[in-house]
Structure 1
């Protein structure tokens, strides 16, 4: 037995699946259809009332008036012709002639006004026929009688004339009664038409008001109330009640919106839960980092005091041993002692450099406006012996004021300038230049020299701590200077790179934000002070 599918056919949707737009469209179409029906009813009632009114004004009432005129005209004729017949005086013919003219005019009007009305046409034809009989049997013989014999003819035809005119009068009375009855019927129809018109327009107004009330009630129940409930639920969630579910109600699109908001709420709950877990993990990491920093501070203290003290003792006692037993030591022993003293001194220098590297971003946390002209001048002055010894030429562009730590920026310039002078070419005196330009809210600096240069393949390696490209015998240093420069620049919100296309020599470019790009603290150290830091490498 085949199974009948219960799935709605394509294109058919249950009212519960209708969207707000579909509900509004259906409501508007129904409202327009009802309005069109009501408009047709109102137009018909107006047209019918106007038709009956026109019939009364333009046909029934004028027809009755013309019937009265016709009766008056025939009475005037009868009076005039009877007076003329009795007296023979032609003065009595004036009313008769006026009545004949008035009769012709009234007959024309009645003929036009009674067209299409069979009973009125029949009454008019009977009146017209009887009037002709009276005129032939009485009026025309009296008028055509010789002078002086009119009374004789009038007397002879008086009885027949009276009978024929009485018939005519009866026909006129019946005609007027029929016309009056038709006029009353038309008046009654007009009253009914006006009543129907008033009822129709009352029905139209009542229906429009009822439809408006139904539309407002439907919008409130189907749209406004669900939106209000959804808004209240969303507001409650926005105020922190994240566990409150969003209930779906109303048309399909509002239910879909509620489902989307509910999905967003669930996702927010999941995200908040994940954020809470991440915050807890971050708090644990922060606690661990604080503990690690405290240990690092302790290590720095140990490195700066406890570790250096044994090194000083080793170097001092080795030198004391060399002076006291100089006569008993050979050249190899003296060389060994020099190796030990040099290693202790290098170890002490390395510890100082590591301390300086670890303190970047930790020991100097207050910012101020730093005049780089003063910082550069202080660095050039501190390296004056080296510059004079190498006969180096140092030039620079006018330097701006930036936001940062003057001590660390001094360490930056000292390492870059010291390296540029130290790694000079043996066949020419060193020339070092510091240039600067402004672009896109940043200061772009460049320190260029004409020294031995750096292979571009080592562009990333040179910024790694303890990475050296030359032996310590060729060029002294610990391989920490450029790593320190990178850390200082990144701490100040900039970047530093090696220009691989610059020849001869090396060219380092770095950026620093403009003064407006940082929040300045006026309590920082004096800008332009003497830089303190590790030696150039």
Structure 2
């Protein structure tokens, strides 16, 4: 095999997955165990067969052959004693021996039915015994009792010779049986040794297999996983540039590659996050600078602009009082325009300052009883309520952690709008309700006023957005925008309920406790996009 073929073979093996390695190893181990198991089973069966043949055939055959020899000797002894004495008692062993002979021969024939040598030995014993009985045993036993048999003395030499042939046949039979018994014992001992060797080989193979499995798992799974875990811990420790080296079977290599891909993706995400953080820091700096400028604008609006505006308003009012009616009608109209513009500018600046203070100046969270806050609002609006005859009712209101000043501004704008935008010739009826909605409180302010068209449901919450002329309804168009800012500052939302008919229903939510809020400067900066365009 060339080096290139060997390297290709190694690459092919390295492409195997853990499952393929386990399947191949288990298949090979099971095949070897199956072969050894078949060999062991065959040897167990062979051992049992030899043992059964030894116990059930060979040993009983030897014992039966010995009993047969005893039965034949009894016959010869009984006949010889009867022939010498003529006493009938000597015929009893002869007759018992014949009966035992028949039983023993039948037992031997049954035990050795598939043993040709054993059957020939039985036939030889039977023939020799039949010759002795025909020539000696039978005639002597048939002689009359009471006197010695002349036949026994006449055929003594022949009787000895024929019975010696019986003894020879018995000896050959027993030798054959003992030899076969010894052979069976030797076969049994040899088979037991082979069986023990096979089982020892099975045990050794199992030990070797266990060692190979342990070593294979250690090298193929444990070590790659430990290396992967070590590299993962290095990355977890903060070294995201540390590469993941793929080792082990194909599936573990794929896992390592996927983890390394995830690491590279994390490196990219971290780089992106770092870049985003730098941009966010730059934007935060710009936002802080914008906040500072906005605070300067608020200071200018509250101090520097107020004084000249008051002068303009004061002197235009002086002109109106002193020269009103002395000039022509157009001059009086111009003076009225100047006074009205100055007053409206004063109102806009004050409202704008109040809007900018939400979350910046008014930011003192404490337990606020919204029922009491609403009572204070109704007291401050008592003049307009009495003038319009408004009927205002409200359900029990909860106590929340909030800024009390902002809650007062919220109620004042909502109730004030409900009273202001009433239907002509109809008594205003306003109801405030509050229900717990999961973790938030949901409030509704319902009136029977002129209502809000669906296409303006979002526009009314934009600062300085008016749906009516100043001649029809007074105001700066900042009230609902301030309500939206207050509600969102307290972690809620506000909207117009478009399903309500015959009036307006404002729905807003408040959190029982405020979430973490940015600093005052950031809150002002968040409204800078609203304030600057309006200017």
Normalised to the residue count of structure 1, the TM-score between the two structures is 0.88
The number of equivalent residue pairs is 508
In structure 2, stretches of 5+ residues that fail to align are: 1-7, 518-535
Q: What is the CA distance between 1:378 and its match in structure 2? A: 0.8
Select which of 441, 446, 449 maps to 1:448: 446
Question: Which of these residues, 413, 420, 424, is aligned with residue 426 of structure 1?
Answer: 424
Q: Residue 446 of structure 1: SS of its match in structure 2?
A: strand
Distance 1:235 1:505 in 2: 65
Please name the residue that 2:292 is paired with: 294
How far residue 338 of structure 1 moved from its aligned partner, in angstroms, is 4.5
Structure 2 contact 491–514 (Cα < 8 Å) conserved: no
Aligned residues: CA RMSD: 2.4
* Deviating more after overlay: 141-150 vs 200-209: 141-150
Map 1:166-205 to 2 at 5 A.
Answer: 166-205=164-203
For the Cα contact (< 8 Å) 2:429–2:447, is it kept in 1?
yes
Q: Distance in 2 between matches of 1:122 and 1:498?
A: 123
Q: For residues 354 and 142 of structure 1, what CA distance do their matches in structure 2 show?
A: 160
2 CA distance for matches of 1:451 and 1:100? 141
How far residue 423 of structure 1 moved from its aligned partner, in angstroms, is 1.9
- Contact 1:423–1:451 at 8 Å: present in 2 too? yes
The match for 2:263 among 253, 262, 265 is 265
TM-aligned CA deviation for residue 90 of structure 1: 1.7
Residue 247 of structure 1 corresponds to 245
Distance across 2 between alignment mates of 1:337 and 1:449: 39
| 1:129 to partner: Cα distance | 0.7
Q: CA 1:476–1:124 in structure 2 vs 1: closer, same or farther (change >3 Å)?
A: same
CA distance in 2, matches of 1:116, 1:452: 124
Which region of structure 1 is more displaced relative to structure 2, 372-381 or 395-404? Answer: 395-404
Work out the CA distance in 2 between the residues paired with 1:406 and 1:510: 17
Which residue of the partner structure matches residue 17 of structure 1? 15
8 Å CA contact 1:142–1:150 kept in 2: the answer is no
Change in 2 beyond 3 A, CA 1:114/1:335: same
1:285: how far off? 1.0
2:231 to 207, 224, 233: 233
Normalised TM-score (structure 2):
0.89
For residues 500 and 81 of structure 1, the distance between their equivalents in structure 2, rounded to whole angstroms, comes to: 140
Question: In the alignment, which residue of structure 1 is the partner of 2:476?
Answer: 478
- 1:325 shift after superposition: 7.3
Q: State how far apart, in whole Å, the 2-side matches of 1:131 and 1:292 are.
A: 140
SS of residue paired to 1:404: strand
Match of 2:365 among 345, 364, 367: 367
Equivalence for 1:401: 399
For residue 425 of structure 1, give the secondary structure of its aligned residue in structure 2. coil
**Conserved 8 A contact 2:58-2:181:** yes
The answer for the alignment partner of 1:136 in structure 2 is 134
TM-superposed deviation, 1:131: 0.8
Q: Structure 2 CA distance, aligned partners of 1:292 and 1:36? A: 85
SS in 1 for 2:436: strand
Distance (whole Å) between structure 2 residues aligned to residue 49 and residue 179 of structure 1: 20
Residue 369 (structure 1) shift: 2.8
Partner of residue 389, structure 2: 391
Q: CA deviation at 1:94?
A: 2.1
> Alignment partner of 1:361: what SS?
coil
CA distance in 2 between counterparts of 1:424 and 1:410 reads 22
Taking the aligned partners of 1:465 and 1:319, their CA distance within structure 2 comes to 29
Deviates more, 1:403-412 or 1:13-22: 13-22
Measured in 2, the distance between the counterparts of 1:114 and 1:122 equals 10
What is the CA distance between 1:134 and its match in structure 2? 1.1
What per-residue deviation string (whole Å, max 9, x for no partner) do you get for residues 178-223 of structure 1?
A: 1111111111111111111211221222222222222222222222
